[in-house]
């Protein structure tokens, strides 16, 4: 694979840029204030094939590949990382069903996910430290009437708006976090409730809530993959998502550094623009460089996903890198803009909160360094 984007990938990026300008720019400030779900923008995402971006053509997808996917995610995130989060979480469900679904499941769910008729959600986290071990862990128990699911999935993105969920449940209480399996759960099934929307720090507009299972009954046909696939399904889907989240982080960082650069050119202090100060130049140059290198790293990981090669280590590296440096993009750019950058009528505070959502949230839970070290030490 080439690290340069192909002409198609560039044009897809251009479409995403035009899309963001037309449909996201006008709503992004309000979304950040109200946290309202951008229903119209999501409809437009569907109309422009973004929701089925990497799904195969036979299920109505655009079959545009993962490199295009991360290019789109980065581009949308420059304007609205929250909208990109909705897309990424949807893509996690689509990815899992496409990768582990049997033909009947793919036929049943992928066309609607690809067309955007149904929005997807991927539910893995719980209130306990790892899935399957907390007091309200989601347990799936084999009963005569089928699989009975009881417990709570926490911080589920797209909760309440998704019509199809890929839900990770513990099927072996003795094995705890090692005894996981995934189920496809339609919204509206008996016993499933959506908790109160969580008021999050950033990425406002991407809904987050608990999914509460009170004896939801599912059948074997709802099981995604084999029981023994659960662990790798979770690991791989989260790794795919971490590449997409890295693209979000880079998009947010790029938006911040471009904003700060433009600011530095117009902000005059001591008789000259602050852009002339070396300290400012260093802050801007370092941020731009880190963004660029992270972009190359995540593009390589996306290329591996696209060609069906192992990518967990590369995904973990991107995640580990941005866990360390991602939030610095905003720390540095706020410093460039000083008091103005700190004001809520400038975009940096929103970007700051958003980048917290894309860099800090999951890295501690997943410990990417462990994945990388394990590969090195094997």
Under the criterion CB under 8 A, does residue 95 sit at the interface with other proteins?
Answer: no
Query: How far, CA to CA in Å, does 191 sit from each of 126, 153, 159, 222, 287?
Result: 18, 14, 15, 16, 48
Two structure tokens written together for 211:
């999914």
Considering the complex, state which of residue 14 and residue 289 has its C-beta at the smaller distance from other proteins: 14
- DSSP letter string over 87-120? HHHHHHHHHHHHHH--HHHHHHHHHHHHHTSS-E
Considering the complex, state which of residue 57 and residue 310 has its C-beta at the smaller distance from other proteins: 57
Under the criterion CB under 8 A, does residue 11 sit at the interface with other proteins?
Answer: yes
Active site residue 8: no
Per-residue binding string, other proteins, 334-363, x by CB under 8 A, is: ------x----x------------------
- What's the CA gap between 237 and 218, in Å, rounded? 22
Considering the complex, state which of residue 61 and residue 132 has its C-beta at the smaller distance from other proteins: 61
The CB-of-249 to other proteins minimum distance in angstroms stands at: 23
Closest by CA to 353, choosing from 152, 168, 82, is 82
Under the criterion CB under 8 A, does residue 22 sit at the interface with other proteins?
Answer: yes
Stretch that binds other proteins, among 5-13, 166-174, 288-296, 366-374 (CB under 8 A): 5-13
- What's the CA gap between 358 and 276, in Å, rounded? 32
Measure the CA dihedral 241/245/246/247, to 10°: 110
Closest by CA to 323, choosing from 371, 272, 280, is 371
Stretch that binds other proteins, among 13-21, 32-40, 187-195, 203-211 (CB under 8 A): 13-21
Which residues ranging from 257 to 276 are in contact with other proteins (CB under 8 A)?
A: 262-263, 266-267
The CB-of-43 to other proteins minimum distance in angstroms stands at: 13
Two structure tokens written together for 218:
């599912």
**Given 71, 245, 314, 362, the catalytic residue:** 362
Under the criterion CB under 8 A, does residue 70 sit at the interface with other proteins?
Answer: no
Two structure tokens written together for 285:
């140059």
Instruction: Give the dihedral sign, CA 320/321/322/328.
Output: positive
Considering the complex, state which of residue 44 and residue 130 has its C-beta at the smaller distance from other proteins: 44
The CB-of-62 to other proteins minimum distance in angstroms stands at: 4
* Size of the residue set binding other proteins (CB under 8 A): 24
CB atoms within 10 A of CB 190: 8
Under the criterion CB under 8 A, does residue 50 sit at the interface with other proteins?
Answer: yes
Closest by CA to 42, choosing from 102, 85, 100, 7, is 85
Under the criterion CB under 8 A, does residue 78 sit at the interface with other proteins?
Answer: no
Under the criterion CB under 8 A, does residue 18 sit at the interface with other proteins?
Answer: yes
Considering the complex, state which of residue 125 and residue 263 has its C-beta at the smaller distance from other proteins: 263
Binding site for other proteins (CB under 8 A): 7-8, 11-12, 14-15, 18-19, 22, 47-50, 53, 62-64, 68, 262-263, 266-267, 340, 345
């Amino acid at each position: 694979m080439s690290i340069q984007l192909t002409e198609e990938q560039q044009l897809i990026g251009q479409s995403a840029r035009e899309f963001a300008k037309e449909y996201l720019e006008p709503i992004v400030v309000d979304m950040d204030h109200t946290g309202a779900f951008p229903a119209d923008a999501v409809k437009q995402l569907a109309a422009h094939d973004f929701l089925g971006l990497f799904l195969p053509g036979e299920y109505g997808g655009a079959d545009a590949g993962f490199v295009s996917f991360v290019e789109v995610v980065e581009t949308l995130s420059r304007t609205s990382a929250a909208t990109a989060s909705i897309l990424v979480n949807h893509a996690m469900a689509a990815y899992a069903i496409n990768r582990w679904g049997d033909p009947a499941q793919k036929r049943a769910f992928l066309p609607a996910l690809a067309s955007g008729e149904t929005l997807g959600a991927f539910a893995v986290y719980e209130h306990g430290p790892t899935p399957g071990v907390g007091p309200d862990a989601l347990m799936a128990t084999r009963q005569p009437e089928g699989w009975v699911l009881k417990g709570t999935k926490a911080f589920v993105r797209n909760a309440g708006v998704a019509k199809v969920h890929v839900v990770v449940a513990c099927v072996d209480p003795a094995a705890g976090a090692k005894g996981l399996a995934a189920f496809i759960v339609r919204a509206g099934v008996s016993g499933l409730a959506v908790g109160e929307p969580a008021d999050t720090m950033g990425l406002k507009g991407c809904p987050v809530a608990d999914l509460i299972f009170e004896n939801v009954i599912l059948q074997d046909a709802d099981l995604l993959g084999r029981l023994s696939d659960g662990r790798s399904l979770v690991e791989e889907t989260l790794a795919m998502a971490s590449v997409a989240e890295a693209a979000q982080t880079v998009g947010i960082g790029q938006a911040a550094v471009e904003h700060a650069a433009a600011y530095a050119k117009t902000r005059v202090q001591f008789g000259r623009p602050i852009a002339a100060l070396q300290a400012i130049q260093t802050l801007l140059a370092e941020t731009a460089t880190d963004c660029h290198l992270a972009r190359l790293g995540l593009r390589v990981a996306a290329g591996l996903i696209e060609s069906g090669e192992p990518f967990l280590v590369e995904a973990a590296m991107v995640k580990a890198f941005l866990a360390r440096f991602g939030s610095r993009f905003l720390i540095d750019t706020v410093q460039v803009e000083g008091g103005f950058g700190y004001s809520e009528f400038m975009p940096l505070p929103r970007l700051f909160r958003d980048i917290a959502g894309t860099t800090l949230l999951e890295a501690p839970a997943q410990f990417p360094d462990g994945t990388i070290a394990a590969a090195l030490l094997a």
